[in-house]
Chain A
Amino acid sequence: MQKSDTIYKLLETSLINEFEQKQVALTGSCHPVVSRSRINGFEFLKDNGLPDRKNEKWKNSPFPGQYEEEYLLDIPPVFYDKAAEEIFRCEIHGFWADTYSMLNGWYYSTKENQLITTGDGVVVGSILKAQHQYPELFEKHFGNIANTEQDGFTAANTALFKDGMFIYVPDGVEVKNAVQLIKLINLQEPLMVNSRNLIILGKSSRLTFLHCDDSVNHTPGFINTLTEVYMDENSSFELYKLQNINDNTSLINNTFIHQERDSRLKVNILSLNGGKIRNELHVNLMGQGADADINGVYLVDKQQHIDNQVYINHAVPNCHSNELFKGVLDEEASGIFNGYIYVARDAQKTNAFQRNNNILMTPKATIDTMPFLEIYADDVKCSHGATVGQLDDEALFYMMQRGIGREDARLLLMFAFLAEVTSKVSIEPLRISYEDMIKRRLRGELSICDKCVLHCSEPDKPIEFDIDLSKI
């Protein structure tokens, strides 16, 4: 379908213009692989535009309805004046993470720290810098893990990304501290951020990565992130996504993961707040014995929207995948879950499971759930299940009978409902912090707390970047 003869929406026009005007700057300073990808992405975007509702995968999504909004696409890099540690305080009690940050779409660090190599050879830094220092890694992986021509957003990301994070873990290295990336937007004007991450794990390596999206004010924004992860043989990767953005911000989060033989992937997505969130996760199990365990919790209210799209491709035999997504939808919130398990011909001895459970709290909340299976091999065990319901009346009655107030009983039940997912977080301090955040979110405290990123109670208060997860 060629879009050329139709009229572009405002956002499409501005993305296309942005590239056309800055093509030299965008492609000139890049590694040839990157600049070629950018041009291809641009061509795709020009031909296809952003996905509309005619596209089956976006049929029920609210995103296509907001392409008429205007966003800033380019702001100069943020001047670095304070050490990241002074600005962001994100302490999870008993849990130590090396924190890196991105502000308004730019990697935020001193000039000399744009790309650092630790003692055991782990490289962490800005993707812009890394492409020149590690061209062989970019040639091999950049744009090869993701399907950059999946839709207009992946294409726009490829064409226009400003910055992003690069992590390389050499063979055999187990990274002790978790790597945490905090992405913040702090601007008085609506900004669209296209950021791109590339994470490469060598053979038998290990990495825990926390990817946090936060807003610091109520300005509308649009975050379009694409992350590529390459997991070599026997590597182990834990990915935590924490999403706590304001109600006016839209987030599209595409993550593509390539798994080699015997690699182990664990993903936990925690969507606490956000105007519109779409998480797309594509896991390609390309080596035998690979294992993927994908979990997600979402809590939405007001008119928020949450969409989780999980595609698992069992390309080879003897792989295992598990998906568990649970969510509570309150007020007028809407949700979509689309799980897709694809088992290729000859991918025998596949075990694949997916489950999605939802609780609707009010008459105006809605959920669409689509757990799909597409199977071309016979010696498989695949199952999926989905439920939509409400809290168990009998359980509620039982608790009230024993003197627990209705509200408390409801909170307890909801918490228990979600705890099945959070209990899978293997890092104890992180799990406690997760559960704490969920409890607060359920009680409605998270969004009114004055320490909170959202500053709901005092919207005019100057921002101090005081994010202390243990205290909120």
Chain B
Amino acid sequence: MSESKNENILDQVTNEEYKYGFYSDIEMDMAPKGLTEETIRFISAKKNEPDWLLEFRLKAFRYWQKMEEPDWALISHPPIDYQDIIYYAAPKKKKELESLDEVDPELLDTFNKLGISLEEQKMLAGVAVDAVIDSVSVKTTFQDTLAKHDIIFCSFSEAVQNHPDLVKKYLASVVPVTDNYFAALNSAVFSDGSFCYIPKGVRCPIELSTYFRINAANTGQFERTLLIADEGGYVSYLEGCTAPMRDENQLHAAVVEIITMDDAEVKYSTVQNWYPGNKEGKGGIYNFVTKRGLCKGKNSKISWTQVETGSAITWKYPSCVLHGDNSVGEFYSVAVTNNYQQADTGSKMIHQGKNTKSTIISKGISAGKSNNSYRGMVRIGRKAENARNFSQCDSLLLGDQCGAHTFPYIKSANETAVVEHEATTSKISEEQLFYCQQRGIDMEKAIGLIVNGYAKEVLNKLPMEFAMEAQKLLAITLEGSVG
């Protein structure tokens, strides 16, 4: 491997632009900076919310004020000034939208640029998209098809207006307001998000998708997603996210809750591509997300698949509470960090029911000066007889300035449970590289091949459209970052 070639490749990577970094000039409606009870009342009023929800927010806010920001993750950042953030920003609505034609053309353009053409999606394989820009959901497609199956898929605000009973019943039932600092903050100020309800025995015929976009400056995004699959229901849900390139750090603190009843299954896939900051580590999104699924019913299943390539800081532990007997939890993750990115991510599997099974496959790839940690917990409760867990977390180091860390926590209180954890850390083997090169595959492609092979186990779990996007993302983020 020649030095010049290496530098050349490294140049390419480091110069690789974040291609979603544009900013759209959309008229915005914003709350004043800062966080007080007034801000919360403002948000709630803006969204015309019922009193119980305002109370819920205020309770969360009061609790949050007493909490301290957690410091146990292996990340470092200057203190976040929670009073210097705009907690609500929405594209200005002129009137209620009837059809796509009425959507602000600038907005449509934004989504076209993102490759989420709200119109084209209709003609393609069929993915119902809920597009969330800054604080509000702008458009949900495919409403008719979904209505035929009695599936509710809409923005969170609409759900609050149209299905208050469901929202009231399930909101914060998996992630309580008091769960953690960022969940409490989200509960106080969440603006919008997606809501989905799959009725009994319905298999959702199309994939549901939400696209999150932070557009305005100085704002934070706090979305809330609630997914409920009733008995025998099934849904595959996709989530994507991007943000403009800005020099300041923006905060994203979302909460996702999933509930599955007897025999229901939810597949949740994320391709997280928030702006990671520039190559000096300036700017980027602080991504503090709480995602948790509750397998409430028997034989239910929740599967998380995530490809994490963006964000300056990722703090995210999609978890499963396996409450129902025979329920299954899965977590597949590829987390890539480059430049000065920091990721502390992993999963929690809480086994409560009998014969519950969980699998964790985590693949970390660190390059540049980044730090990538896996932090996961497997807890076997007293009553979780014959529970079974298998965890594998591998780390790949590309370059000698980065770090790869593994922090598994295993707690077992049942003698019939079997828990296995294994992990390895290494760099791309020179032998493999040599072998590829020997056969005429140039180094860059060889690295691509090896990394893709390394991540294959996880990428295979993604729905088709996403898998393609994820593969490309991997290639962009990592191109030639090995010397």
A: which residues have CB within 8 A of B? 56, 60, 345-346, 348, 358, 360-363, 365-390
Given A374-B403, A385-B423; A380-B397 close (CB under 8 Å): yes
> Is B415's CB under 8 angstroms from A390's CB?
yes
**Interfacial chain A residues near B409, Cβ < 8 Å:** 368, 370
Which chain B residues numbered 111 to 149 have a C-beta less than 8 Å away from chain A? none
Q: Of the 9-residue stretches B226-234, B332-340, B424-432, which lies at the interface with chain A?
A: B424-432
Task: Show 30 residue pairs from A and B whose CB-CB distance is below 8 angstroms, ordered by the A residue.
Answer: A346-B400, A361-B415, A362-B415, A363-B382, A363-B414, A365-B413, A366-B411, A366-B412, A366-B413, A367-B410, A367-B412, A370-B407, A371-B406, A372-B408, A373-B404, A373-B407, A374-B403, A378-B399, A378-B402, A380-B425, A381-B424, A382-B425, A383-B422, A384-B406, A384-B422, A385-B421, A386-B420, A388-B380, A388-B419, A389-B419
**Interfacial chain A residues near B398, Cβ < 8 Å:** 378
> Is B426's CB under 8 angstroms from A372's CB?
no
> Is B406's CB under 8 angstroms from A373's CB?
yes
> Is B423's CB under 8 angstroms from A384's CB?
yes
> Is A388's CB under 8 angstroms from B410's CB?
yes
- The 10 A-B pairs of least Cβ separation, nearest first, read A378-B397, A360-B415, A388-B412, A382-B425, A373-B406, A366-B413, A385-B422, A388-B419, A376-B403, A383-B424
A377 to B366 Cα, complex, angstroms? 11
Which chain B residues numbered 222 to 280 have a C-beta less than 8 Å away from chain A? none
The DSSP consensus for interface residues of chain A is: strand
**Interfacial chain B residues near A390, Cβ < 8 Å:** 415-416, 418
> Is A373's CB under 8 angstroms from B415's CB?
no
B413 to chain A, nearest CB (A): 4
Name B417's contact: one of A371, A384, A385, A388 (CB within 8 Å). Answer: A388
Is B203 in the interface zone, CB < 8 Å from A? no
B333 to chain A, nearest CB (A): 17
> Is A373's CB under 8 angstroms from B423's CB?
yes
> Is B415's CB under 8 angstroms from A370's CB?
no
Name B408's contact: one of A360, A366, A370, A381 (CB within 8 Å). Answer: A370
**Interfacial chain B residues near A360, Cβ < 8 Å:** 412, 414-415, 417
Contact string against A for B residues 31-64, beta-carbon threshold 8 Å, 1 for contact and 0 otherwise: 0000000000000000000000000000000000
Name A375's contact: one of B397, B408, B411, B421 (CB within 8 Å). Answer: B397
Residue of A nearest to B373 (CB): A374
**Interfacial chain A residues near B414, Cβ < 8 Å:** 360, 363
> Is B427's CB under 8 angstroms from A378's CB?
yes
Residue of A nearest to B380 (CB): A388
> Is B405's CB under 8 angstroms from A386's CB?
no
Interface size band for B: 35 or more
A135 to B114 Cα, complex, angstroms? 72
> Is A369's CB under 8 angstroms from B410's CB?
yes
A361 to B412 Cα, complex, angstroms? 12
Residue of B nearest to A336 (CB): B411
A360 to chain B, nearest CB (A): 4
B414 to chain A, nearest CB (A): 6
A345 to B397 Cα, complex, angstroms? 12
**Interfacial chain B residues near A370, Cβ < 8 Å:** 407-410
> Is B418's CB under 8 angstroms from A388's CB?
yes
Given A368-B410, A380-B425; A375-B415 close (CB under 8 Å): no
A365 to B411 Cα, complex, angstroms? 11
**Interfacial chain B residues near A346, Cβ < 8 Å:** 400
A403 to B410 Cα, complex, angstroms? 37
Name B410's contact: one of A374, A375, A380, A386 (CB within 8 Å). Answer: A386
**Interfacial chain B residues near A365, Cβ < 8 Å:** 413, 415
> Is A372's CB under 8 angstroms from B427's CB?
no
Is B287 in the interface zone, CB < 8 Å from A? no
Residue of A nearest to B402 (CB): A378
B386 to chain A, nearest CB (A): 10
Name A372's contact: one of B400, B403, B404, B407 (CB within 8 Å). Answer: B407
B369 to chain A, nearest CB (A): 10
> Is B415's CB under 8 angstroms from A383's CB?
no
A380 to B366 Cα, complex, angstroms? 14
A148 to B407 Cα, complex, angstroms? 25
Residue of B nearest to A366 (CB): B413
A406 to B15 Cα, complex, angstroms? 67
Is B162 in the interface zone, CB < 8 Å from A? no
A379 to B408 Cα, complex, angstroms? 22
Is B401 in the interface zone, CB < 8 Å from A? yes
A53 to B50 Cα, complex, angstroms? 41
Name B400's contact: one of A369, A374, A378, A388 (CB within 8 Å). Answer: A378
Name A345's contact: one of B72, B74, B401 (CB within 8 Å). Answer: B401
Is B395 in the interface zone, CB < 8 Å from A? yes
B363 to chain A, nearest CB (A): 15
A376 to B372 Cα, complex, angstroms? 10
A419 to B423 Cα, complex, angstroms? 24
B174 to chain A, nearest CB (A): 24
> Is B412's CB under 8 angstroms from A381's CB?
no
> Is B400's CB under 8 angstroms from A379's CB?
yes
Residue of B nearest to A378 (CB): B397
Given A346-B400, A380-B426, A385-B422; A56-B408 close (CB under 8 Å): no
B376 to chain A, nearest CB (A): 10
B328 to chain A, nearest CB (A): 19
A367 to B421 Cα, complex, angstroms? 14
B382 to chain A, nearest CB (A): 7
A370 to B410 Cα, complex, angstroms? 6
A333 to chain B, nearest CB (A): 11
**Interfacial chain A residues near B419, Cβ < 8 Å:** 386-389
> Is A389's CB under 8 angstroms from B418's CB?
yes
Other than the known A362-B415, A369-B410, what 15 A-B pairs have Cβ atoms closer than 8 Å?
Answer: A345-B400, A365-B415, A366-B411, A366-B412, A370-B408, A373-B404, A375-B397, A375-B403, A375-B404, A378-B427, A380-B427, A386-B419, A389-B417, A389-B420, A390-B418
A412 to chain B, nearest CB (A): 19
A361 to B414 Cα, complex, angstroms? 9
> Is B399's CB under 8 angstroms from A372's CB?
no
**Interfacial chain B residues near A345, Cβ < 8 Å:** 400-401
A386 to chain B, nearest CB (A): 5
Residue of B nearest to A363 (CB): B415
A397 to B380 Cα, complex, angstroms? 26
**Interfacial chain A residues near B417, Cβ < 8 Å:** 360, 388-389
B25 to chain A, nearest CB (A): 43
Given A382-B426, A384-B423; A375-B405 close (CB under 8 Å): yes
B359 to chain A, nearest CB (A): 15
B406 to chain A, nearest CB (A): 4
Residue of B74, B411, B415 ringed by the most chain A CB atoms within 10 A: B415
A306 to B426 Cα, complex, angstroms? 32
A227 to chain B, nearest CB (A): 28
**Interfacial chain B residues near A385, Cβ < 8 Å:** 420-423
B380 to chain A, nearest CB (A): 8
A366 to chain B, nearest CB (A): 4
**Interfacial chain A residues near B382, Cβ < 8 Å:** 363
**Interfacial chain A residues near B400, Cβ < 8 Å:** 345-346, 348, 377-379
**Interfacial chain A residues near B401, Cβ < 8 Å:** 345
Given A56-B72, A375-B425; A368-B420 close (CB under 8 Å): no
> Is A387's CB under 8 angstroms from B420's CB?
yes
**Interfacial chain B residues near A60, Cβ < 8 Å:** 411
**Interfacial chain B residues near A367, Cβ < 8 Å:** 410-412
> Is B415's CB under 8 angstroms from A381's CB?
no
**Interfacial chain B residues near A358, Cβ < 8 Å:** 412
**Interfacial chain B residues near A378, Cβ < 8 Å:** 397-400, 402, 427
Given A348-B400, A362-B415; A386-B408 close (CB under 8 Å): yes
A362 to B382 Cα, complex, angstroms? 11
Residue of A nearest to B422 (CB): A385
**Interfacial chain B residues near A377, Cβ < 8 Å:** 397, 400
B355 to chain A, nearest CB (A): 15
Residue of B nearest to A330 (CB): B415
**Interfacial chain A residues near B415, Cβ < 8 Å:** 360-363, 365, 390
A373 to B425 Cα, complex, angstroms? 9
A371 to B425 Cα, complex, angstroms? 13
> Is B408's CB under 8 angstroms from A371's CB?
yes
